[in-house]
Amino acid sequence: MKFRAMKFRAMRLPLPRKWAIATRLFFSAAVLSSAILLTSGIVLSTLYRTTAESRFDDRLGVYLRELVADIAAPSDENRADPGELGEPQFGLALSGWYWQVTRLDGGHHDIRSSKSLFAARLPKLSDQNIPAGLGGTRKGYVKGPDERNLRMVERIIDLGDQGIYLVQVAATTESMDSDIAHFEFELMITFAVLAAALVGSSVLQLHYGLLPLRRLKDAAAAIRRGEREVIEGTFAADIAPLAGELNLLIAANREVVARARNEVGNLAHALKTPLSVIINEANEDPGSFSEKVSEQAALMRDQVTYYLDRARVAARAGVLGEATEIAPVTAALVHVFDKIYRDRAITFSVKVVEGLRFQGERQDLEEMVGNLVDNAGKWARHGVMISIEPIAATGPGARPFFRVTIDDDGNGLAPELREAAMRRGRRLDETRPGSGLGLSIVVDLAALYGGALKLDASPMGGLRAELQLPVAA
């Protein structure tokens, strides 16, 4: 594997906004570490190649100087062959190691070369427009007689009356390339191990560094589940202020809710007492006027109760940390309705997944489920079935819910009347007792908790009510 020079420029990593902090930090560390390691690998590989070429050129330069010394030595015109220059491969045909001396002046173009060239000739670096370096020596790569890459050094020697000579020494780069490839392979393995170590250390650092945030998240989740009232424990210096602010926010939330409850209670007493007095006074003086006053006062009392209940629940729904066990509440309600509808022999059957908890107050759960069970009991012929189970999450981070399904075997309700039945004060059958507020109260309470009520046909033949409410995880 050969590293090639690459250009880097500053860029903004396209991190998705929904990624977790740990994922963002890990991705950033991985990308930056990879870029640093890759850059370091390229730099080290380039330096090693440059050093290897320099050492190789120095070796070739030794042979070049020997040839130059041999040419410059005084002798007759029949100059002796320099021979193998101490390197046996100069004497082996097409070995990849060659030297060549060419006379350039006076019309004489006699050429002497090593036996390894075997009647072949070396190309000139000067013909490739390679500039001469210090001392007039050129260095570069050429194709040899057998098409192998050769590293060559050449130099023009002017000996005055003795002539001008081009001295060339070339050798195959196979050994050098093999050393470089071996170095780059070892470098790649080393950097791969280093990258794995960096990734592992990043994971450990993130796990340890984000531990205070996970503890804070767990503490906040415990409050949401109703297991704690405040965030407890000792946190790191940069997280402790956040924990303190959350505790202050929770305390302020509970104080606001407490005040709202008190005000709602005071208003309830302030309105209900005068209305009760009006109804009592009207009942003591029979007549059409008294009946009208009594009727409207009773209606006003129902409306006041309805809206006060809504205000009370709206205040409670914003309280952090409220959670209610569902199974005990359901069992208590069924016990009550068994007694209420005993004379009609209505059977109430219950199926509840154990461990489910409602994210809200017990009284609100009793009111919603109680209204639905009571409505089913009024219209059922023989039985009512209650089923409570969790709902599968719709996606990552989605709020968990559970479903209360109440079926009866009554006459049911036409599809066009189901929506009307959930409107406030709407009674579809005046022969049954009630104010017409039961289902509408359930709709409003469920909405305040982020849930919903839906009416549908029941497999038992009557009406099915499906109530969806949040789970205290």
Residue 278 to residues 140, 267, 294, 380, 435, Cα–Cα distance (Å): 114, 17, 7, 37, 20
Summarised one tens digit per residue, pLDDT across range 230-288 is 887 787 787 788 888 888 887 887 777 777 767 766 776 677 677 777 777 777 777 77
* Cα three-residue angle 424-429-433, rounded to 5 degrees: 80
Task: Output the pLDDT for position 397.
Answer: 60
- The candidate with the shortest Cα–Cα distance to 373, out of 326, 423, 313, 442, is 442
Task: Output the pLDDT for position 307.
Answer: 67
Residues 446, 453: contact at Cβ < 8 Å?
Answer: yes
Q: 130 CB contacts (<8 Å, ≥6 apart)?
A: 138, 139, 140
Question: Per mean pLDDT, which range of 40-49, 147-156, 225-234, 314-323 is the poorest?
Answer: 314-323
Average pLDDT of the residues of the chain: 81
- The candidate with the shortest Cα–Cα distance to 412, out of 380, 448, 374, is 380
Summarised one tens digit per residue, pLDDT across range 396-427 is 667 789 999 999 999 888 888 888 777 654 44
Helix (H) or strand (E) holding 168: strand 164-172
Residue 369 scores a pLDDT above 90: yes
Task: Output the pLDDT for position 78.
Answer: 46
| Prediction pTM value | 0.50
- The candidate with the shortest Cα–Cα distance to 377, out of 369, 351, 328, is 369
